[in-house]
Amino acid sequence: MADLSPIWLTLKLAAVTTLLLLVIGLPLAWWLSRGRSIIKTIIEAIITMPLVLPPSVLGFYLLLAFSPQRGVGKWLQQNFDVQFVFSFKGLVLASFIYSMPFMVAPVKSALQQLPITLAQASYTLGKTRRQTFINVLLPNIKPSLLTASVLTFAHTLGEFGVVLMIGGNIPNVTRVASIAVYDSVERMDYASANTYSLILLCITFIMVISVFLFNKYQAKSPLD
Amino acid sequence: MISIDIEKNLRAYQGKRTLKISRNFPAGSITKIYGPSGAGKTTFLKAIAGLITPENGKIIVNGEVWFDRSSGISLPPQKRMAGFVFQDYALFPNMTVHQHLEYATNDTVWINRLLTIGKLETLHDHKPAHLSGGQQQRLAILRALAIKPKVLLMDEPFSALDAETKKILLTELKAVFDELKATILIVTHNPSELDGLTKSELLIE
């Protein structure tokens, strides 16, 4: 029987990353969806970069940036006793950055497609921007919100390069499922590799088919 | 009394032009606004509501400065609380008829009265997608009235109503308008439909 701790660690990482991105990514998507400016364009470009950047490159720079030997990493270690490199926190940070476009882009696009008069109608009723966002805008992009959350979760399940660079392969700490598959194959332990792979395959399939089924009345697929 | 003297640049089909309106609307009056498409009628209403900002001018409502370019005053729409009936209704797809009104006011007596006026009592738990065009338009009007506005801005509010429904609704609304003592501006493509309701008019060209 394969050690299932990498699966649990992966699920924990995906859940924490998705929750964090819901809290921070949604307001960010809302801000980006309202009007255009050069600052917004630059920030959006930075958020989108992980889609095209090799994960190992992102992981490498995160490793450098948060190394306890220098710079920010050293400062965090000395002042707050926080270490991102080779820790679960580091995996969360890397996943957060790496999966951000999967949360922000669909939500931003959905918000932009809502008629501007919806928010305007709410404002004329005396509602603040925050009340409008929570009561009017968010409930009307539910399918996209679900799609974004599932994509973020599923994408985090499959991360390899970036988490390997910043987290390494420490059992129960940073050894997530994708790394466990690679590690098992290297050790010629195909049975364990197959167990991890099959579990990931099933989880991913169930998640994607659930989005299709949930969104069928809106005629949206997870790719929309 | 609404005192308006504004300038707003418009991007029209023929190129850029400036909408200039200088006019006083007495308190409690009902004015119909008409003119060709793209003349700036909706822009004018939105400028009053604070949804867009004019380039120049002043808007003073019942002695309160809502907008004054020269002194940098521009109250947000939340503080102006002008009732607004949008041309596309702008109903919230996630809310039922009743929830639309509840979102605007906590006054249940007023909500029930509005539902009666709009003949939507039996449809109170329906969402906009399950209402006809005319019912949606009536809901948009009721929602704007729910906040008991002192200024009511209506952008083609009766276009989807049949003649009979319009006649009954206008009679009911007139009583509500009198009660609220609101100053009302109604944009229409069919000025004659408001005959008997309005005494003044504004042509925007």
**Both tokens assigned to A146:** 């679900």
Nearest CB among B78, B86, B94 relative to A121 is that of B86
Q: Which member of B82, B91, B92 has the closest CB to residue A124?
A: B82
Q: Phi first, then psi: what are they for A126, rounded to 5°?
A: 90, 5
| pLDDT at site A224 | 52
Verify whether the Cβ–Cβ distance A115 to B92 is below 8 Å.
no
CB spacing of B78 vs A123 below 8 angstroms: yes
What end-to-end distance do the CA atoms of chain A give, in Å? 39
Q: Are A193 and A184 in contact (CB under 8 A)?
A: yes
What pLDDT was estimated at residue A214? 80
Cβ–Cβ below 8 Å for A124 and B76: no
With CB atoms and an 8 Å threshold, state whether A121 touches B84: yes
d(CA A193, CA A181): 5
**Could you give the CA distance from residue B166 to residue B156 in angstroms, rounded to a whole number?**
12
Q: What is the pLDDT of residues B91-129, one digit of tens each?
A: 999 999 999 999 999 999 999 999 999 989 999 999 999
Q: Do A125 and B88 touch (CB under 8 A)?
A: no
Query: Smallest CA–CA separation between B86 and chain A, in Å?
Result: 7
Task: Say if the Cβ atoms of A136 and B51 lie within 8 Å.
Answer: no
Q: Report the alpha-carbon distance of residue A179 to residue A150 in Å, rounded.
A: 21
Query: Which residues in chain A are contacts of B80 at CB distance < 8 A?
Result: 124
- Nearest CB among B49, B93, B94 relative to A124 is that of B49
pLDDT of residue B83: 96
pLDDT for A1 = 66
**Are the Cβ atoms of B103 and A123 closer than 8 angstroms?**
no
Interchain pair A123, B104: CB under 8 A = no
Per-residue pLDDT of chain A (224 residues; tens, 9 = 90+): 678 999 999 999 999 999 999 999 999 999 999 888 999 999 999 999 999 999 999 999 999 989 888 888 888 888 888 889 999 999 999 999 999 999 999 999 999 999 999 999 999 999 999 999 999 999 999 989 998 999 999 999 989 999 999 999 999 999 999 999 999 999 999 999 999 999 999 999 998 888 888 877 654 554 45
Residue B86, pLDDT > 90, answer: yes
Question: B137 pLDDT exceeds 80?
Answer: yes
Show which of residues 86-145 on chain A sit within 8 Å of chain B, judged by CB atoms.
115, 117-118, 120-128, 135-136, 139-140, 142
Nearest C-alpha in B relative to A140: B94
For residue B69, what pLDDT band results from cuts at 50, 70 and 90? Answer: very high
- Please report the pLDDT score of residue B131 as a whole number: 93
Q: How far apart are CA B93 and CA B118, in angstroms?
A: 19
With cut-offs at 50, 70 and 90, classify the pLDDT of residue B164. Answer: confident
Give the nearest chain B residue to A117 (CA atoms). Answer: B90
Q: What pLDDT is recorded for position B198?
A: 80
Question: Which domains can be identified in chain A, with CATH numbers?
Answer: 11-174 (1.10.3720.10)
Q: Which residues of A touch B104 (CB under 8 A)?
A: 125
Which residue among A123, A136, A142 sits closest to B77, beta carbon to beta carbon?
A: A123
A34 — contact with chain B (CB < 8 Å)? no
Q: Does A218 touch chain B (CB under 8 A)?
A: no
Which chain A residues contact residue B82 at CB under 8 A?
Answer: 124
Q: Which of B85, B103, B81 is nearest to B161 (CA)?
A: B85
The interface predicted TM-score (ipTM) is 0.93
Q: What is the dihedral of CA B162, B165, B166, B170, to 10 degrees?
A: 180
d(CA A203, CA B19): 59
What is residue A156's predicted lDDT score, i.e. its pLDDT? 94
**CB-CB neighbors (< 8 A) of B81 in chain A:** 124-126
Query: What band does B197 get if pLDDT is binned at 50, 70 and 90?
Result: confident
Chain A, chain B: beta-carbon pairs less than 8 Å apart: 58
Chain A environment of B50 (Cβ under 8 Å): 123
Q: Which long-range contacts (CB under 8 A, 24 or more apart) does A168-176 make?
A: A168/A86, A170/A86, A171/A3, A171/A5, A172/A5, A172/A9, A173/A9, A173/A86, A173/A87, A173/A88, A174/A9, A174/A86, A174/A87, A174/A88, A174/A90, A174/A91, A175/A5, A175/A6, A175/A9, A176/A6, A176/A9, A176/A10, A176/A13, A176/A91
Q: Does A69 touch chain B (CB under 8 A)?
A: no
How far is B201 from B31, CA to CA, in rounded Å? 5
The answer to whether the Cβ–Cβ distance between B93 and A140 falls below 8 Å is yes
- Going by C-alpha positions, the residue among A147, A161, A190 that lies closest to residue A95 is A161
Tell me chain B's radius of gyration from C-alpha atoms. Answer: 17
- What is residue B30's predicted lDDT score, i.e. its pLDDT? 92
Q: Per the CB < 8 Å rule, is B77 touching A124?
A: yes
Inter-residue contact A120 to B86 (CB < 8 Å): yes
Tokens, residue B202 = 């504004």
